Amino acid sequence: MNKFLRVINPSAKVIGFVLLAILFTGCNAVRRVPNGKRLLVSNVLSINGKPDNSEAMQLLLSQKPNSTLLGYPLRLNLYNLAKPHSDSLFREKLRKNPKRYQRYVKVLSKKQVYRLSRSFYHFGIHEFLRKTGEPPVLIDTMASYKSIKRLKSHYFNQGFFDVEASFSVDTISNRKAKITYKVALGASYKIDSIKTQVASPVLDSMYQKLKTTSLIRSGDMYHSENLTNEIKRLVNEFRNQGVFYFQPNNIRYVVDTLSKQKKAHIELYISDQSIRKGDSIKTVPFKRFKISTVRVITDFTSANENKPFKDSITYNHVTLYGYSKIKFVPKALVDAVFILPGTYYSDTNTINTAKFLSNLKVFKYPLIQYLPDPKNENALIATIFLSMYDNFKLGYGIDFTHSNIIDFGINGFTSITVRNVFHGAETFVLGFRGNVGSSKDLANPNNNFFNVSEIGADAQLNFPKILMPFNTDKLIPKRMIPSSSLSIGVSKQRNIGLDKESVNATFTYNWSTSKSEKIRLDLFNIQYVKNINTANYYNVYRSSYDVLNNISKNYTVNPTYFDENNNLIVSSGVNSFLNDVNNGQVPVTSDELKTVRSIEERQYRLTENNLISSTAINYWKSTKKDLFDNNFYSFRTKVEAAGNGFSLLANLSKQLKNQNGANTIFEIEYAQYIKTEAEFIKHWDLHHKKVFAVRSFAGIAIPYGNSRSIPFSRSYFAGGSNDIRGWQSYGLGPGASGSVNDFNEANLKLLLCAEFRFQLLGKLNGALFADAGNIWNVLDAVEDEKYVFKGIKSLEYTALATGFGFRYDLPFFSVRLDFGYKTYNPANSVERRWGKDVNFSQSVLNVGINYPF
């Protein structure tokens, strides 16, 4: 036993003692329960004699037991550890021991002695325990009566009008008790007859057409929620058909449940419009209003509110006004207005107008005002007040980074945004970015701390419409808020990997088919990547270098290929050794020759210059209502095709193929492939700040025509903080290969993740997760069976990572720590795949911002 204790490090002992202290001193759950009171241990709910402890029903109860972590009331016991009035207790001790007080005063002043009572040791730690912990929930019969009312109201709204409920307090032990709630539902009521009384003739005529789609039908079970939703439906229909002054309080229902047949009789009343004049109120029939005039004030501010307009333009019956010369092409603004003269007033048109104008990113959120037309009592004048943002906006930022190449890096960017560039509400953004970093793995003859760098520039021009030579309103109407974007970017690296130089250009269309659905069409996405420092390949991809270096030591090789440490020189020694192997001067085995050629092929693929021209369509759908919605799903899919335009151009020009049998554009082999992927995410809200989340992903990229493999930038990898968390990024797969490369990638990926999230203490949350998946090669140049996906049988190489994590919620983001374990490792031999790598020393720490999905 003593030997065991000696191997435990001091910090582990401290943690152990703290845990024991919590266990033995805090586990007295009734420690802070006053005499005569009882701690609520549990709520037992019985519906018609059957237990129902579902989360939904427990939420109806006013009092709930203290929260637990895996069944243990951690927060309650933390609260119990805190001493009440700890600061005054310290002062009381000094009052009873004057000599001790005098000793303190000799060293400290009286004020400092007082402050000592408020120190962390005497006060702060107890205050922390009280705030972090949770006070005991004491049984309160008044709260129980409130729970009874809630339960009866809940079932009454579901048509159980004869529901009865009661509760009893059952003592379990000294100062502990549970509450048992019993609910007898009785018979459920069905809707019998429905009578309507509509005061205004206009509304009565409209209602007769709308009642065929009513949410309240004779013979259905009574639910008050249906009545509420029917009111919302009618209000929405009336207001979207011109009844401008109609409000929800103009509709009321009377439900008669006195029938002995357990049936509900419903009467619907839709009243006239109430108009207040002085101290009196009169009612008049509702009427429908049309829009007679639409005015748009393009440069409204509070300062010029009462000034005369100096400019006006009328376009498509909409008049633009300006306190100075109007700076917009009329069509650009009028196209964003859904409120048109001659049409009936509509809430939907008002909302869409405000949304579209705001989405231009030229104006602040608009104010839309409707006033009666003095010339026509059945018409409204619509005025849209637009307040512009500044024409120019400067942005900047700085960030710190760390990667497997850069030990420490500083990223900075600056940008300027120009609004209304061509007077059509366009925005132009010009940005510059750069970073410097330190890497100990790279040659650094001048001993500079920052020995790597990257600079880049980006330009983006956004149009608030589909930019086409023909009208697209019938295909993509303006209610879908369409936009177009043209962007160009360049970047240059120094001492980062292979020192890439890249140029990219994209042209995209965006639109929303509904509030929850979005589509993006990349008409073209052209990327050109040139590797400047290909001689640095084996310094970056060290695992490939190590394999070749180890093979070279097994044979008699030209000594000039090696450095003073008897290692192959990068890159001259490595290239010379590869030439000797290929020429047969180094008699390697057949397996070694296969390995060497695989490394050479990978080197060629990763050092070749890339020219990618693709077209892609992306679709998103999400039912998430807001940031706090934890009960939703989202779906994303993408189809991308690359190289077809270049292929057509090469065929028309009858260009000769290069030595690799591929066509080239500007002497560069262009990539040709088709790629598709889909992702589905689902969250279930389990209440009490518990969420179960699932993510699934499948993607495949198939090379054809001019390509035998997928460019590195378009391939898939596995592992990392948002992927399979038991492996580092690029550290898993392909298949059962054992991740022999530094950056393992392939062209097929399957992924399934599940995570259970729960609250620990305050803003600190916990998670238990399982991630399954892998990457494989399929239909490309790779032939090694360990890498290739061959159907269902290859799924046995699906990796599984499990683990736990912590998330701390900050105002705008969350900081995340996840500990992942290789629960099933397909790279191991069959007998060692399950659980052999599950230990803390082999866990992977993942640090991330926000949740993984």
pLDDT digits 0-9 by tens, 437-486: 876 555 554 556 777 788 999 999 999 999 998 888 888 988 898 999 99
Q: What is the pTM of this model?
A: 0.79
In this predicted structure, the answer to whether residue 122 has a pLDDT above a threshold of 70 is: no
Pairing of strands 427-438, 408-419: antiparallel
Q: Can you read off the two tokens belonging to residue 553?
A: 């030591």
Q: Can you read off the two tokens belonging to residue 512?
A: 């929303």
Report long-range pairs for 532-536 (Cβ below 8 Å, ≥24 apart): 532/493, 532/498, 532/499, 532/500, 532/501, 533/495, 533/498, 533/499, 534/498, 534/607, 535/570, 535/571, 536/497, 536/498, 536/499, 536/570, 536/571
Report long-range pairs for 529-532 (Cβ below 8 Å, ≥24 apart): 529/500, 529/501, 529/502, 529/609, 529/610, 529/611, 529/713, 530/500, 530/501, 530/502, 530/609, 531/498, 531/499, 531/500, 531/607, 531/608, 531/609, 532/493, 532/498, 532/499, 532/500, 532/501
- Residue 5 banded pLDDT, cuts 50, 70, 90: very low
In this predicted structure, the answer to whether residue 77 has a pLDDT above a threshold of 90 is: no
In this predicted structure, the answer to whether residue 629 has a pLDDT above a threshold of 60 is: yes
Task: State the DSSP H helix or E strand holding residue 573, giving kind and residue range, or none if neither.
Answer: helix 572-582
Q: Which residue has the higher pLDDT, 26 or 654?
A: 654
What pLDDT sits at residue 839? 85
What pLDDT sits at residue 4? 34
What's the rounded mean pLDDT across residues 542-553? 90
CB atoms under 10 Å from CB of 69, counted, come to 13
What's the rounded mean pLDDT across residues 798-807? 95
- Residue 669 banded pLDDT, cuts 50, 70, 90: confident
Q: Which residue has the higher pLDDT, 1 or 484?
A: 484
What pLDDT sits at residue 8? 37
What pLDDT sits at residue 114? 63
In this predicted structure, the answer to whether residue 10 has a pLDDT above a threshold of 50 is: no
What pLDDT sits at residue 19? 53
Rounded CA separation 284/271 (Å): 9
469: Cβ–Cβ under 8 A, 6 or more apart, which residues? none
Tens-place pLDDT, residues 717-752: 999 989 999 998 888 989 998 887 777 899 999 999
- Residue 836 banded pLDDT, cuts 50, 70, 90: confident
Rounded CA separation 235/246 (Å): 7
> 77-86, 175-184, 787-796: lowest mean pLDDT where?
77-86
Residue 457 and residue 490 in contact, taking contact as beta carbons nearer than 8 Å: yes
Q: Which residue has the higher pLDDT, 29 or 770?
A: 770
What pLDDT sits at residue 213? 93
What pLDDT sits at residue 655? 63
In this predicted structure, the answer to whether residue 677 has a pLDDT above a threshold of 90 is: yes
What's the rounded mean pLDDT across residues 410-437? 92
Q: SS3 for 592-624, per residue?
A: HHHHHHHHHHHHHHHHCCEEEEEEEEEEEEECC
In our burial notation (b when 16+ CB lie closer than 10 A, e otherwise), range 447-466 reads: eeebbbebebebebbbbbbb
> 338-347, 379-388, 398-407: lowest mean pLDDT where?
398-407
> 248-257, 274-283, 355-364: lowest mean pLDDT where?
274-283
What pLDDT sits at residue 577? 94
Which range of 519-523, 706-710, 812-816 scores highest in mean pLDDT? It is 519-523
Residue 329 and residue 424 in contact, taking contact as beta carbons nearer than 8 Å: yes
In this predicted structure, the answer to whether residue 116 has a pLDDT above a threshold of 70 is: no
What pLDDT sits at residue 368? 97
In this predicted structure, the answer to whether residue 549 has a pLDDT above a threshold of 80 is: yes
What's the rounded mean pLDDT across residues 576-589? 91
What's the rounded mean pLDDT across residues 206-226? 93
What's the rounded mean pLDDT across residues 820-841? 90
Pairing of strands 664-665, 39-47: unpaired
What's the rounded mean pLDDT across residues 305-331? 93
Q: Which residue has the higher pLDDT, 486 or 102?
A: 486
CB atoms under 10 Å from CB of 84, counted, come to 9
Q: Which residue has the higher pLDDT, 17 or 402?
A: 402
Q: Which residue has the higher pLDDT, 377 or 664?
A: 377
Share of the chain above pLDDT 70, in %: 90
Closest residue by Cα to residue 369 from 356, 386, 355: 386
In this predicted structure, the answer to whether residue 180 has a pLDDT above a threshold of 50 is: yes
> 395-404, 541-550, 649-658, 729-738: lowest mean pLDDT where?
649-658
- Residue 161 banded pLDDT, cuts 50, 70, 90: very high
What's the rounded mean pLDDT across residues 30-48? 90
DSSP code per residue over 349-401 = HHHHHHHHHHHTSSBPSPEEEEEEETTEEEEEEEEEE--BPPSEEEEEEEEEE
> What is the chain's mean pLDDT, rounded?
87
What pLDDT sits at residue 686? 86
151: Cβ–Cβ under 8 A, 6 or more apart, which residues? 60, 61, 163, 165, 181, 183
What pLDDT sits at residue 515? 86
Distance of CA 627 to the CA centre of its chain: 9
- Residue 28 banded pLDDT, cuts 50, 70, 90: confident
What pLDDT sits at residue 182? 95
